Amino acid sequence: MLCTAMDEEFSLNDPTHLLESASEFAHHPVLQNDAATKDFLDRFPLPVIISALQTKADVPGLENALVECLEKVFKTKYGASLIPQYMPFVQVGLRADSQIVRCLACKTVSSFLVNFDDKSISAIQLIVDYDIYPLLLDYLIYGNEQVATAAIDAIKNLAHFPEGMGIIFPSNINEVTHLGNLASRCSSLGRVRVLSLIVKLFSISNSVASVVYNSNLLSLLEVEIRNSNDTLVTLSALELLYELTEIQHGTEFLSRTTLLLLHSIISNSSMESILRSRAMMISGRLLSKENIYMVVDEPSAKGVISAINVRIGLLNSLDTDECLSALEALGQIGSSIQGAVLLLSSFPPAARHIVHAAFDWQGRGKQLAALHALGNVAGEKRPEDSVMLNGDAEENLRLLIYEVASQSSKLTPSGLFLSVLQQAEEFRLAGYRVITGLVARSWCLMEICSKQEIINMVTDPATETTKIGMEARYNCCKAIHRAFMSSKLVSDPALHGIAVKLQDGVQRGPYLARKHTEAAPVVMTAEIF
């Protein structure tokens, strides 16, 4: 699209009109469509806008307005279709002194790759012809945070093309653009950014993750984690590892070495507490996945659990951030069947710390974390058919809870449960989760039925006043009712009243619904005239 010399001269001589129109287009409350974009560019052709951006007319706010405007233009299909004609501008924009113009150029590359669908032109060939990829790598490393993020997004979009994968992962590992070589000559900040790109690429798909893995790029992450000279860099690398564990297909690529590395951090008393905490949380995340046990062996998993257990013991169960992280990590591990079995089958069982802390009123933060962890171990998050564990694990769980109860003033598990439900709301919510999971066991169901106060609380919609509280209470009521109806207790005449209460509680729902009442006749005295 070209504009007349007169139009361009007028627009540049009167940039305030361009500023106003560009700002209006950029900040329009409704997402701009192709028709609106075409109408705007008919009035202000791209050469005019680009020229104004390059000359930087001395008008406050003009550069920002034009950048925001062009970003919106290129996000539309129509705007993206024009980008091939202006690839020289993109190249110049990537070399601009202005950080926001560089950021715009990176985002323009993303828009081009995502939206452009002209089959007669090779998008990747244009990226090659204008030497775009090396410029993106430069700003990944040297740009400010916004530019680096935009560069990462552009490279990630490039990786969606098979030809783009050939650019990012050259067959010759000695290429200067190879990410391993790039990381080796970067500052610590640059290395973290390269690692962030690697994680983002890894997240795209299983096939791309395979290329990343086979390129040995994940080892760069482990190298940075082992580097204890810079706590901030190590922490950043751990955060990226945590991000990797959240990727659905990521688990199968994480090796036994990863767990050994985390184990070494958790066990290292000379490490910063925050690093041990993050390592525990990552371990918990990893071992909470059922398929991780197809990749790592049981001794490695037990070693990490033991290291976390030792840390809790060394902290003397103090109410500290590290102790809370340890309990949360064990709780995450316990949310999976195999993880819960490992927690309950070790000697002494690692779950002992969880159960003891769950009913210890000395450390409030610690107790709350432990209650949620116990809810996970009990199976509150697992599907109904996966709540129960194997025989030994179930017996150890029962013994641990009865052991804690016998050592307390409450004497029975039902007493412990009631005492939790009588605390503040956040503790009641955790208590509902514990009961919801545990009540699938016959011994726990009998304990619950032995305390009328518990039945009254879980069946009364007025017990809770917040939405989350009402729903947690109702879920607990449903779980007790389900366990009761499938047990031998359902035929016990002495428990008929409890059965009625539970049935009524389930039917009334989670919220403050009034009971259905029968219409009653109104009796009035006759008026005497």
171-220 per-position pLDDT tens digit: 888 888 889 888 888 888 899 999 999 999 999 998 999 999 888 888 88
- pTM attached to this predicted model: 0.79
Per-residue pLDDT, 256 = 67
Mean pLDDT of 314-334: 83
Q: Quick one: pLDDT band at residue 246, thresholds 50, 70, 90?
A: confident
Q: Helix H segments across 185-272?
A: 188-202, 206-214, 218-226, 231-245, 256-267
pLDDT digits (tens, 9 = 90+) for 389-419: 999 999 999 999 999 999 888 889 999 999 9
Q: Quick one: pLDDT band at residue 316, thresholds 50, 70, 90?
A: low
Per-residue pLDDT, 482 = 92
pLDDT at 1 over 80: no
Q: What are the residues whose beta carbons fall under 8 Å from the beta carbon of 107, sequence distance 6 or more?
A: 71, 74, 150, 153, 154
pLDDT digits (tens, 9 = 90+) for 119-154: 767 888 899 998 999 999 999 998 899 999 999 999
Backbone φ and ψ for 15, nearest 5 degrees, come out as -70, -15
**Number of residues that make up the chain:** 529
pLDDT at 9 over 50: no
Per-residue pLDDT, 95 = 87
pLDDT digits (tens, 9 = 90+) for 57-74: 567 788 888 888 898 889
Q: Would you tell me how many other CB atoms lie within 10 Å of the CB of residue 123?
A: 19
238 neighbors 225 (Cβ within 8 angstroms):
yes
Per-residue pLDDT, 224 = 87
Q: What is the DSSP secondary-structure string of 279-329?
A: HHHHHHHHHTSGGGGGTS-HHHHHHHHHHHHHHHHHTTT-SSHHHHHHHHH
SS3 for 159? coil
d(CA 452, CA 192): 57
d(CA 298, CA 338): 10
Q: Quick one: pLDDT band at residue 14, thresholds 50, 70, 90?
A: low
Domains and CATH numbers, the chain: 169-250 (no CATH), 255-408 (1.25.10.10)
Per-residue pLDDT, 13 = 57
d(CA 292, CA 290): 6
